[in-house]
Amino acid sequence: MNFNAGDTAWILVASALVLLMTPGLAFFYGGMVRGKNVLGMLAQNYVTMGVVSVLWILGVYSLAFSGTGKYIGNFHQFGLNHIWQQATGFETLTIPPLVFCAFQLMFAIITPALITGGTADRLKFGAWTLFCGLWLVIVYAPVAHWVFSPSGWLSKLGAEDFAGGTVVHANAGAAALAVILVIGKRRGWPKERMRPHNVPFVLLGAGLLWFGWFGFNAGSALAANTLSAYAFVNTNTATGAALLGWMIVERLRDGHATTLGAASGAVAGLVAITPACGFVSPMGSVAIGFAAGIICALAVGLKHVFKFDDALDVVGVHLVGGVLGALLIGLFGTKMVNGANGAFYKGGWTLMGHQAIAVVAVVAYSFIVTYILAQILDKTIGLRVSVEQEVAGLDLSQHAETAYETASYSDGNRFSSSLNN
């Protein structure tokens, strides 16, 4: 096999960038929860890094990428046996198979981690740990195979997903909705106010996500070339446009553009451009990003209409944004960059049809299987903490720790430091 040092070096770095997204996500979410639950949120994200890192090597990589099955891989590369062989359909890659495996691992880590935002403040730590491992095997592995593996049925159909708009975002968003419906609302929602306890954390986390996302999207070219450059520029452009779109909605609707809105808009743009970044032009990415910022800013209100407690808006941002991005490829896809032409480039509606099938298949499978899995776990080991534990907070009840020594009864408002004089 002919490996290219430049490609290999880039994908190794990109893998590390994608890994950093999960701690970034942990802070993005952690800042939005109440101060008594921030460690619970960080712990759920970090333990996912542990669980998935091990399971991926043991067998899940093989299930997702080995073999020629239409719906699921096989155990050919169980325990990374035969890892000197490229994954099926990736024979022309110029990076070692082990690098591809590591890069894909990082996607498998952040996908279940995304769910924790919807279920924030009420999952038992042990139940989450078990759930994320099972979900990885029965939901993530098949869906990744359908879309990412060239032998998967959606990939064969012609559905396009450059970096995981369906596999990662729509998948995690649909799963979050399913778990939310099983475990129910946080105690006191929506009457009791549950303000973000640390908005600077949210912005810090969003910045880490934006940075790491260059690895996620531009790395998905699996080489250091013009296509990865398109993905890089499209990612940044769409993110900027979405940030502006979200803040404009807030300014017009609420009177103030907020910092939380800037972070949320950026993430919405990152989500929506993920499937499209290697198929659209930079001008297309402006349209996709701007649309994502506006639509996701409005979509986060859905939970108040339909009364489901999507605590940190995983449905409004990741499900809606992922679906939106996947569908907009059907309009903005262009051969000049990569892939097939969409409706706006005289490609007709064929591509849009493929995108719609992929979206429906992934969302339906993820929602249904996750719902059944969550019901079984809830009826057996129980997914949700007790009322006492929820009131005390996850930090204390699940981990016997507190995040802040100076935890205050009054939402952390401290007066001037002049008292120390």
**Contacts with other proteins, residue ranges (CB under 8 A):** 193, 195-196, 250, 253-256, 258, 260-261, 264, 297, 300-301, 304, 313, 408, 410-411, 413-416, 418-419
Q: Closest distance between other proteins and the C-beta of residue 195, in Å?
A: 6
Q: Answer yes or no: are the C-beta atoms of 406 and 414 closer than 8 Å.
A: yes
The C-alpha atoms of residue 387 and residue 33 are separated, in whole angstroms, by 17
Q: Closest distance between other proteins and the C-beta of residue 413, in Å?
A: 4
Nearer to other proteins, 53 or 258 (CB): 258
Three-class DSSP labels, 127-146: HHHHHHHHHHHHHHHHHHHH
Nearer to other proteins, 121 or 161 (CB): 121
Q: Closest distance between other proteins and the C-beta of residue 240, in Å?
A: 20
Nearer to other proteins, 130 or 260 (CB): 260
Nearer to other proteins, 92 or 418 (CB): 418
Q: Answer yes or no: are the C-beta atoms of 273 and 209 closer than 8 Å.
A: no
Nearer to other proteins, 161 or 309 (CB): 309
User: What are 22's two structure tokens?
Assistant: 């999960």
The C-alpha atoms of residue 42 and residue 206 are separated, in whole angstroms, by 15
Nearer to other proteins, 156 or 253 (CB): 253
Q: Closest distance between other proteins and the C-beta of residue 235, in Å?
A: 23
Q: Closest distance between other proteins and the C-beta of residue 389, in Å?
A: 25
Short-list 223, 340, 325, CA closest to 284? 325
DSSP-derived secondary structure for 348-401:
TTHHHHHHHHHHHHHHHHHHHHHHHHHHHHHHHT-SB--HHHHHH-HHHHHHS-
Nearer to other proteins, 160 or 310 (CB): 310
User: What are 127's two structure tokens?
Assistant: 């139940």
Q: Closest distance between other proteins and the C-beta of residue 410, in Å?
A: 4
The C-alpha atoms of residue 114 and residue 135 are separated, in whole angstroms, by 12
Residue indicated by tokens 């446009």: 241
Other CB atoms within 10 A of residue 56 CB: 25
Short-list 397, 314, 411, CA closest to 119? 314
Q: Closest distance between other proteins and the C-beta of residue 115, in Å?
A: 19
Nearer to other proteins, 304 or 379 (CB): 304
Please name the residues in contact with 57: beta carbons below 8 A apart, sequence gap of 6 or more: 79, 80, 105
Residue indicated by tokens 């098949």: 142
Q: Closest distance between other proteins and the C-beta of residue 101, in Å?
A: 37
Q: Closest distance between other proteins and the C-beta of residue 118, in Å?
A: 14
Q: Answer yes or no: are the C-beta atoms of 304 and 353 closer than 8 Å.
A: no
- How deeply is 271 buried, as exposed, middle or buried, from its count of CB atoms within 10 A (0-12, 13-18, 19+)? buried
The C-alpha atoms of residue 95 and residue 352 are separated, in whole angstroms, by 32
Nearer to other proteins, 106 or 324 (CB): 324
Sign of CA dihedral 139, 144, 147, 149: negative
Q: Answer yes or no: are the C-beta atoms of 40 and 394 closer than 8 Å.
A: yes
Nearer to other proteins, 92 or 410 (CB): 410
Nearer to other proteins, 242 or 327 (CB): 242
Degrees, nearest 5: CA angle 277-224-240: 35
Other CB atoms within 10 A of residue 380 CB: 10
Q: Closest distance between other proteins and the C-beta of residue 313, in Å?
A: 6
3-state secondary structure of 32: helix
Q: Closest distance between other proteins and the C-beta of residue 215, in Å?
A: 27
